[in-house]
């Protein structure tokens, strides 16, 4: 039997506020243990939370950017469970009245465009960190607790189970990451845990509209792990069903090193969260004016930018999709185009040589050794016929380690294209003289033979001759 997977994601996104969600402690990453703590986030007896206004703003903006409805009346709730990284033994979260609901995002997959619905986005506090004395939690005789991360603001972005492959889930998460970066609410550094996902996977016979029993993998913090965990789980569940077994509803951990998921034993009633409204925090009532104010502050979002690139610059849908896939790349692109560089050439260079070099050296585009201005200037040299496209590759390579302006590099390295016919003519004549066979064939009607002659001229001029000019001169002379 063929099975179809049904996948839903709960993405946790740490917000880039200066302070924690319910107290004035700084949120910075990497501080010494237990130095970003105060009576409030330590949950000392007597303390009360206060809502960071910026968190509400960011949550509403995230909702607007993902086509959600903003709930006019929203409140916080206590989600009760005991864990030492949670000083109050409850997490202040949102239960039945989250700030945003009923949104959607469009994603591009290898099988085309697809819409993924969002159930909700809610605000909550992050937990602290446990450092285990052993190599794993199981072989540790004790654990150390650091409450610096306790109370760092999180958005939980919950999707409907609208995805069916690991690729769709990855692309969806990439899209959410891009949107959060665009609206500048999160650093989205996955290696720092800014963005992590709990993923639900179930399978069902193809064509069925009933949901199978799902399993959940928590705290997936890379796109690769996300795909690996889903693919492993689909395979595992398929085997279970094919062997006549039943999938058990449970939480499983994903081991990225081994690429497998493992069952975690669950205690009975350990997950009766006994949600109750947080009496210490008055509700949040959001007016239309506030919503419109936040909407007006949103930057151009990836989908709109993509459409604009297609319309204004004539980029293909595919190219525009790649350029707008991160805010940083789109901004780089805009800066290149702003120099006067041809938009299509700019797109090709960014997706080609630039991306290749950045990937090879794992450099973020914002830290590219070739900044947008220099790339734009180099493209202008191509457009002015100062250098050929082929030479430009050499120039670009040089620019990667040489901080000089492209024009100076071209001059210093003697890479200026030869456009003076009198300078090219001797080489053209020499090529005709040295290749009688090619000349013969060309004159006999084999137009392709001209290519060999052009190649000879380019070789003789060390690639500096303008290829169109060489072509034209050869055709003239062989008439």
Partner 1 sequence: MSLFEKPAHVLHDMLQKKEISSVELTKDVLARIDAVEPQVGAYLTLTRDAALAQAEAADKKIAAGEDVAFLEGIPGAIKDNICTKGVKTTCASKILDNFVPPYDATVMTKVKAESPVLLGKTNLDEFAMGGSTENSAYHVTHNPWNTKCVPGGSSGGSAAAVASGTAIWALGTDTGGSIRQPASFCGVVGLKPTYGRVSRYGIVAYASSLDQVGPLARDVTDAANVLNVISGLDEMDSTSSPSPVPDFTKALREDVKGLKIGLPKEYFTDGMDPEVEKAVKDAIEQYRSMGAEIVEISLPHTKYAISTYYLIAPAEAATNLQRYDGVSYGARVDGADLVEMMTNTRTEKFGEEVKRRIMIGNYALSAGYYDAYYLKALKVRTLIQQDYTEAFQKVDVIMCPTAPTPAYEIGSMISDPLQMYLQDICTVPLNLAGLPGISLPCGRSSKGMPIGLQIIGKALDEETILRAAYTYEQSQNYHNEMAKLGGEQA
Partner 2 sequence: MKVTKKDLENVAVLSRLRVPEDKQETYIQQMDAILTYMDNLSEVDTENVKPTTYALPMSNVFREDEVKPSLDREAALSNAPLKENGYFKVPKVLED
Give the separation between CA 91 and CA 76, rounded to whole angstroms.
10
Under the binding rule (CB under 8 A), the answer on residue 282 touching partner 1 is yes
Interaction mask 119-148, partner 1, x per CB under 8 A: ------------------------x-x-x-
What is the 8-class DSSP label of residue 198?
E
- We find the least distance from the C-beta atom of residue 145 to partner 2, in angstroms, to be 4
- Interface region with partner 2, contact rule CB under 8 A, candidates 139-147, 293-301, 332-340, 422-430: 139-147
Write the CB contacts of 103 (distance below 8 Å, at least 6 apart in sequence): 63, 66, 67, 68, 69, 117, 118, 121
Query: Which residue matches tokens 């990451």?
Result: 177
Among 3, 33, 51, 108, binds partner 1 (CB under 8 A): 51
- Listed as own residue / partner, the contacts of 233-240 with beta carbons closer than 8 Å and 24 or more positions apart are 233/201, 233/261, 234/3, 234/5, 234/166, 234/201, 234/203, 236/261, 237/3, 237/201, 237/202, 237/203, 237/212, 238/3, 238/203
Between 147 and 172, CB nearer to partner 1: 147
Under the binding rule (CB under 8 A), the answer on residue 43 touching partner 1 is yes
Token pair of 446 as six digits: 């084999």
Q: Note whether 168 and 13 are within 8 A (CB).
A: no
Between 88 and 218, CB nearer to partner 1: 88
Q: Which does 48 bind (CB under 5 to 8 A by kind): partner 1, partner 2, none?
A: partner 1
Among 33, 67, 80, 222, binds partner 1 (CB under 8 A): 80
- Listed as own residue / partner, the contacts of 379-386 with beta carbons closer than 8 Å and 24 or more positions apart are 379/336, 379/339, 379/341, 379/342, 379/345, 379/346, 379/349, 380/339, 380/340, 380/341, 381/406, 381/407, 381/410, 382/345, 383/341, 383/342, 383/345, 385/417, 385/419, 385/466, 386/410, 386/416, 386/417
Q: Which does 315 bind (CB under 5 to 8 A by kind): partner 2, partner 1, none?
A: none
Under the binding rule (CB under 8 A), the answer on residue 50 touching partner 2 is yes
Task: Classify residue 51 as exposed, middle or buried by CB count within 10 Å of its CB (0-12, 13-18, 19+).
Answer: middle
- We find the least distance from the C-beta atom of residue 278 to partner 1, in angstroms, to be 8
Between 19 and 109, CB nearer to partner 2: 19
Q: Note whether 185 and 58 are within 8 A (CB).
A: yes
- Interface region with partner 1, contact rule CB under 8 A, candidates 55-63, 83-91, 104-112, 305-313: 83-91
Give the separation between CA 121 and CA 11, rounded to whole angstroms.
9
Interaction mask 245-274, partner 1, x per CB under 8 A: ---------------------------x-x
Under the binding rule (CB under 8 A), the answer on residue 43 touching partner 2 is no
Interaction mask 85-124, partner 2, x per CB under 8 A: ----------------------------------------
CA-based radius of gyration for the chain: 29
- Interface region with partner 2, contact rule CB under 8 A, candidates 177-185, 275-283, 292-300, 425-433: 275-283
Among 131, 248, 264, 276, binds partner 1 (CB under 8 A): 276
Under the binding rule (CB under 8 A), the answer on residue 291 touching partner 2 is no
Under the binding rule (CB under 8 A), the answer on residue 248 touching partner 2 is no
Q: Which residues bind partner 2 (CB under 8 A)?
A: 17-19, 23-26, 32-39, 42, 50-56, 75, 82, 84, 130-132, 137, 140-147, 264-267, 269-270, 272, 274, 277, 279, 281-285
């Amino acid at each position: 039997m063929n099975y179809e997977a049904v996948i839903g994601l709960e993405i946790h996104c740490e917000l880039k506020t200066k302070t924690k969600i319910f107290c004035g402690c700084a949120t910075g990453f990497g501080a010494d243990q237990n130095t970003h703590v105060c009576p409030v986030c330590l949950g000392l007896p007597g303390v009360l939370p206060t809502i960071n206004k910026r968190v509400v703003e960011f949550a509403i903006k995230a909702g607007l950017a993902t086509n959600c409805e903003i709930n006019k009346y929203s409140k916080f709730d206590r989600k009760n469970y005991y864990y030492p990284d949670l000083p109050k033994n409850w997490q202040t979260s949102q239960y039945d009245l989250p700030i945003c609901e009923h949104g959607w995002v469009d994603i591009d997959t290898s099988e085309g465009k697809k819409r993924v619905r969002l159930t909700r986005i809610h605000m909550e506090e992050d937990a602290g960190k446990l450092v285990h004395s052993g190599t794993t939690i199981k072989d540790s005789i004790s654990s150390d607790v650091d409450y610096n991360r306790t109370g760092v603001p999180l958005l939980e972005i919950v999707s409907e189970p609208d995805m069916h492959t690991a690729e769709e889930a990855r692309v969806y998460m990439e899209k959410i990451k891009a949107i959060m970066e665009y609206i500048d609410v999160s650093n989205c550094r996955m290696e720092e845990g800014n963005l992590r996902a709990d993923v639900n996977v179930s399978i069902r016979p193809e064509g069925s509209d009933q949901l199978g029993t799902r399993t959940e993998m928590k705290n997936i913090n890379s796109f690769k792990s996300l795909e690996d965990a889903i693919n492993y789980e689909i395979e595992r569940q398929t085997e279970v069903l094919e062997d006549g077994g039943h999938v058990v509803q449970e939480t499983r951990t994903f081991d990225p090193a081994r690429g497998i998921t493992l069952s975690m034993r669950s205690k009975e009633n350990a997950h009766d969260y006994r949600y109750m409204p947080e009496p210490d925090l008055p509700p949040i009532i959001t007016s239309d004016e506030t919503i419109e104010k936040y909407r007006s502050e949103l930057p151009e979002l990836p989908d709109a930018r993509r459409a604009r690139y297609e319309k204004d610059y004539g980029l293909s849908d595919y190219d525009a999709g790649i350029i707008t896939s991160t805010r940083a790349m789109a901004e780089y692109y805009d800066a290149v185009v702003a120099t006067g560089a041809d938009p299509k050439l700019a797109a090709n260079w960014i997706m080609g040589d630039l991306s290749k070099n950045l990937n090879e050296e794992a450099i973020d585009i914002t830290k590219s050794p070739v900044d947008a201005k220099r790339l734009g200037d180099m493209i202008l040299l191509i457009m002015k016929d100062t250098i050929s496209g082929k030479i430009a590759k050499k120039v670009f390579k040089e620019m990667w380690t040489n901080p000089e302006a492209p024009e100076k590099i071209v001059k210093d390295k003697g890479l200026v294209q030869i456009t003076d016919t009198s300078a090219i003519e001797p080489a053209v004549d020499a090529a005709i003289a040295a290749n009688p066979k090619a000349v013969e064939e060309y004159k006999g009607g084999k137009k392709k033979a001209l290519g060999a002659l052009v190649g000879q001229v380019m070789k003789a001029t060390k690639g500096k001759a303008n290829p169109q000019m060489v072509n034209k001169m050869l055709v003239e002379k062989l008439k």
